[in-house]
Amino acid sequence: MGDNILNSTLIFFVNGKKIVEQHPNPELTLLTYLREKLHLCGTKLGCAEGGCGACTVMVSRVDRTTQKLHHLAVNACLAPLCSMHGLAVTTVEGIGSTRTKLHPVQERIAKAHGSQCGFCTPGIVMSMYATLRSIPKPTMADLETTFQGNLCRCTGYRPIIEGFRTFTVDGCSMGENCCKVNGNGICKEEDTLFEPNEFMPYDPSQEPIFPPELKCSDALDRQFLAFQGDRVSWYRPTSLNELLNIKKKFPDSKIVVGNTEVGVEVKFRNCLFPVLISTAQIPELNEITETTKGVKIGASVSLADMEEKLRRLIEDRPETETSRCFSKSHAKITNIDASEALALPGVVAFYSSKDISSDRNSVGAVFHDEELFISDIVTSQGQTIGVVVADNQSLAQRAAKLVKVTYDDINPVIVTLEDAIKHQSYYPGYPKVIRKGDPEGALKNADHIVEGEVRMGGQEHFYLETQASIAIPRDNDELELFCSSQHPTEIQKLVSHTLNIPASKIAVRVKRMGGGFGGKESRGSLTALPVAFASYKLGRPVRCMLDRDEDMKMTGTRHPFYFKYQAGCTKEGQITAIMVSIYNNAGYSMDLSFSIVERAMYHILNAYYVPNALVQGWVCKTNLPSNTAFRGFGGPQGMFVGEHIIRDIARTVNRDYVEIAELNMMQTGLRTHYNQVVELCQVGRCWKELLESSDFNRRRDNVQKFNAQNRWRKRGISVVSVQFGISFTTAFLNQSGALVHIYTDGSVLLSHGGTEMGQGLHTKMIQVAATTLGIPFDRIHVSETSTDKVPNTSATAASAGSDLNGMAILNACNILNERIAPYKKAFPEDGWNKWISRAYFDRVSLSATGFYATPHLGYDFASNSGRPFNYFTFGAGCSEVEIDCLTGDHQVIRTDIVMDLGSSINPAIDIGQIEGAFMQGYGLFTLEEMVYGADGTLLSRGPGAYKLPGFADIPGEFNVSLLSGAPNPKAVYSSKAVGEPPLFSAASVFFAIKEAIADARRHENLSPDFPLISPATSARIRMACQDRFTKKFSKPVPGSFKPWNDVPCQLHQSSIWSKIVDLEESSECTEYVETPIFLAVVTPITS
């Protein structure tokens, strides 16, 4: 080894503390070590492939050549623990906390409302922090680069950018006169939802120092490292000769630099590389040298270093020199053999359908048409065949892979909605029918009839925190569960059913979720039930959290939909009748699909009136994971058809679609096609205000001028309306409860049936209680949602969380006010604390329960009568886009949204919800495509293949306003629901893209009437434009090929999962008598 001494001790620093790890395990990632060994749980696991940024930490090192410090944002989920030797790691805990002092980065993202569920926040904070440590005065361009590796599913990104914009030198229009330039890094001039002048100044000189031991000596850099694990060895040579000697000794060894390839292969392809060699300290492989023939780049040079070097070279060269270059699903189980898995030391148990009675094995959200453990017939990928329980996570995963499952294939395999229709594969009881008037007769007498088809793909929820559960057995058959679930009562009921114990002995607790969006309404049972079963059997705590790819394969998506429609109209364009057939792809079980198709039926015409209608809905049974609730719950899919009909009619009668929309727009007093009277209709006001505030007419003229002057770049601008019904369409779910305790010190503990997933529900509920009781917000605390505090809760869904729980809290607080009223009247000068004290000594109860049931709800399909909704949320959205006709790429230039939210309880939260919903809808309509192979194998299992909107995708200009002067008498404090309705405003982007494509097609004398499937991906945009280039690709003859990207369906998918649940920083961590063991699940095998 030359002059160097072989070393087997890992030394590095974490948050300024020296870490000495004897004989580290080369298979561990930095993330695993931080969370499980150092208990620094702020760093999150979101995807395990470096695509979401939730695991970001800062890694600092000294450049021994220049003696300068380099601060790098690193994905801890990929970074090998052994690669940290001689480096300094900083986690989010290391820069500040609420218990000590927040760092300005943390403060600004919080006060700018840039955190909702919060799961992505630590990673975003650390990305920003690493940038500030390298560039104390960044530009906006620097911020764009900073967040290229971070994803957020909640906020829509704008508040994050706005908050961090205050750090930049160009964050103010004042230029050199900006007060930031003059010292404190704060701009006072901007009109925002936060007060920038309240921010702590950022002072780079006050940052923690780099560990002197690392800065003053390069001894650790010069050490030859050799770490030996149970299965893998790690070597870090420091010279080229040492590297060649090791490769000669271990010719099959794998070289590791950033671990972006090896890490993914180990994690997702189950590869094992017994010898790993790090080349981080070999000079020849880390050099960038410029020669007369070009630039030589060492194989170990990081992309960041290469980019910086090339940037400097570009800056040093003339522009003319630099610019030359352009750079099996349906099968019968025949045997399950877990003997190899059980033989591994540390494996505790394997459970399958043999360990539970058939009646207890039958589970499901509404209908028990699923199995906890598949007993005989596999009908989709991702179904659970059995569970392996082991002492640690990696062992559980290894053991699960050793379980041998054999199958016999069964046909047919139904993949697409077309397959389901062909085989009449429908669930019983369908079609559902809504009939109003005489649609057949009205169509026959119509002046014009338009007809068409609409197809929408599914959408992955991609909550940053995947499905997670932990179960703890208690005395006397009691069981406590901590779940990331929107519906703790459902988990309680299913666990009670599976274990055959009373629900009163099962407590399900939800502290918070890292996002939900409907995906955790019913599918949380996929982790909760196996965990509860294993824990109950073993009498030990058991926990599990799905990895990202497992979550995507198992939990289902938004429903793919297929619509066929006819609409009749007058010569002027007034709609006289519609007939629509709706098909949704439910997957292998019913789950909530029946309610989802019903909501699509209700919303089929969006905000437009029709006197005659026939709407039929089918729920299709296919061999794919059971699809489930997703923000909008079928509503956006139905509304999408309504907007297509409006535009089809406009083309037919040769009028502007804006005029046709206004001609048919819903008004107060009119009845929907399901015969509900629309009250206090504000859609017309929203529409008018939007057209004015967005300067729609002038901008549309500018779009036409732009298109006339450009052949290969086209713009489009479009506006859509929004009318979304608020309530669960299943009437009994529209109820809620609350429990309010006032303690003798005057503080208040508030419990209610809603769960917090980042939508700000707890904050709003505190506001309701504080306003009703007349006390400051900070006197009220919400600890968690728990079935032993408020029983029989409904899911936090349908945008009804604030309405239902707010009214229950209002009821409870009014009861308490009545009890305290005598003391307020007798002693008006005492104040809250003394009133409470007097009531206590007079033995007055200071605890109250509240209850609320939404009145006058219910609908009957047979008679087409009733009120499925309590009220409607209205709105309108306008977007302008530019497309590249040659690549299909697009950019949203500007978006304007006006929403009617009544008297908003919290405008900052509501605007955040609007922006987040829009960006999620933008993904639905343009970017997020579930990609499947020819046999139905899911290929888009993570952020590498499944593209979510990122920071760079937000509209260049994004304006959101709330309609004023429109209080809602049917909800708490005159407010309105906000979670789901704004999502459809993103359809304005889709239709703007379609207008841009239509203009491109005119150059080829092609019809502007053409089909465009949602999502409008780059490939679909490109091929829809059609030109001399696309004509070179002839359209294949139908039936001559097998589609490679059909509606979702998986065949023989293999997945083994096991992960610790993220307990955040809650106190339940201290309650464990023993360390929970891990659970891994065996699912069908895939190719």
Asked whether 613 and 439 are in contact (CB, 8 A), the reply is: yes
1025 is in an annotated binding site: no
Q: How far is CA 719 from CA 507, 895, 913, 992, in A?
A: 48, 10, 20, 8
Helix (H, G, I), strand (E, B) or coil at 668: coil
Is 1069 within any annotated ligand binding site?
Answer: no
Contacts of 653 by beta carbon, 8 Å cutoff, 6+ apart: 448, 569, 571, 572, 573, 660
76 is in an annotated binding site: no
Say if residue 325 carries a ligand binding annotation.
no
Q: Residues 6 or more apart from 450 whose CB is under 8 A from it?
A: 566, 567, 569, 645, 648, 649, 652
What sign results for the dihedral spanned by CA atoms 1052, 1053, 1057, 1063? negative
CA distance 485 to 487: 5
The pair of three-digit structure tokens given for residue 28, joined into one six-digit string: 């561990």
Q: Which residues pair with 568 in a beta bridge?
A: 449, 577
Q: At what angle do helices 593-602 and 635-653 cross, to 10 degrees?
A: 30
DSSP state of 176: G
Q: How many CB atoms lie within 10 A of CB 571?
A: 10
d(CA 506, CA 865): 40
Rounded to the nearest angstrom, the gap between the alpha carbon of residue 544 and the centroid of all alpha carbons in its chain is 19
Q: Is 216 known to sit in a ligand binding site? A: no
652 is known to lie in a ligand binding site: no
User: Angle at Cα 890 formed by Cα 886 and Cα 894, nearest 5°?
Assistant: 145
52 annotated as ligand-binding = yes
Query: Any known ligand binding at 117?
Result: yes
Residues 6+ apart with CB under 8 A from 86: 11, 12, 61, 214, 220, 221, 223
- Cα–Cα distance list, 373 to 338, 493, 723, 849 (Å): 14, 18, 42, 39
Cα 478 to the center of its chain, rounded Å = 33
Could you tell me which residues are beta bridge partners of residue 471? 481, 542
For residue 392, the tally of other CB atoms under 10 A from its CB is: 15
Strand partners, 866: 859
The annotation status of 486 as a binding-site residue, yes or no, is: yes
Contact between 536 and 471 under an 8 Å Cβ cutoff? The reply is yes
Structure tokens at 545: 């959290």
687 token code pair: 């529409």
Q: What span, in angstroms and rounded, lies between the C-alpha atoms of 54 and 120?
A: 5
CA distance 405 to 335: 6
**Strands annotated E in 922-1065:** 957-962, 1056-1057
Cα–Cα dist 544/527, whole Å: 7
Say if CB 283 and CB 98 are below 8 A apart.
no
Contact by Cβ (8 Å): 761, 754: yes
Integer Cα distance of 80 and 593 in angstroms:
43
Q: How far is the C-alpha of 147 from the C-alpha of 139, rounded, in Å?
A: 13
User: CA-CA distance, 54 to 147, in Å (whole number)?
Assistant: 11
The reply, when asked if residue 798 is annotated as ligand binding, is yes
Q: Is 885 annotated as a binding residue?
A: no
Q: Is 980 a catalytic residue?
A: yes
Is 379 one of the annotated binding-site residues?
Answer: no
The token pair at 542 is: 């058991």
Beta-carbon neighbour count of residue 510 at 10 Å?
25
CA distance 295 to 310: 9
Cα dihedral 46→51→52→56 (10° resolution): 90
Contact call for residues 917 and 979 (beta carbons, < 8 A):
yes
- Spatial separation of the C-alpha atoms in residues 828 and 834, rounded to whole Å: 10
Task: Kindly name the residue from 49, 929, 980, 995 that is annotated as catalytic.
Answer: 980
Does the annotation list 729 as a binding residue? yes
- Find out whether 1064 is annotated in a ligand binding site: no
748 annotated as ligand-binding: no
Check the annotation: does 187 bind a ligand. no
Q: Are 878 and 696 within 8 A, CB to CB?
A: yes
Annotated binding site for substrate: 521, 599, 633, 729
As annotated, the binding site for [2Fe-2S] cluster includes 47, 52, 55, 77, 117, 120, 152, 154
Give binding residues for Mo-molybdopterin as ranges.
486, 517, 631, 798
**Which residues line the annotated binding site?**
47, 52, 55, 77, 117, 120, 152, 154, 255-262, 486, 517, 521, 599, 631, 633, 729, 798
State the binding site for FAD: 255-262
Q: Which residues are catalytic?
A: 980
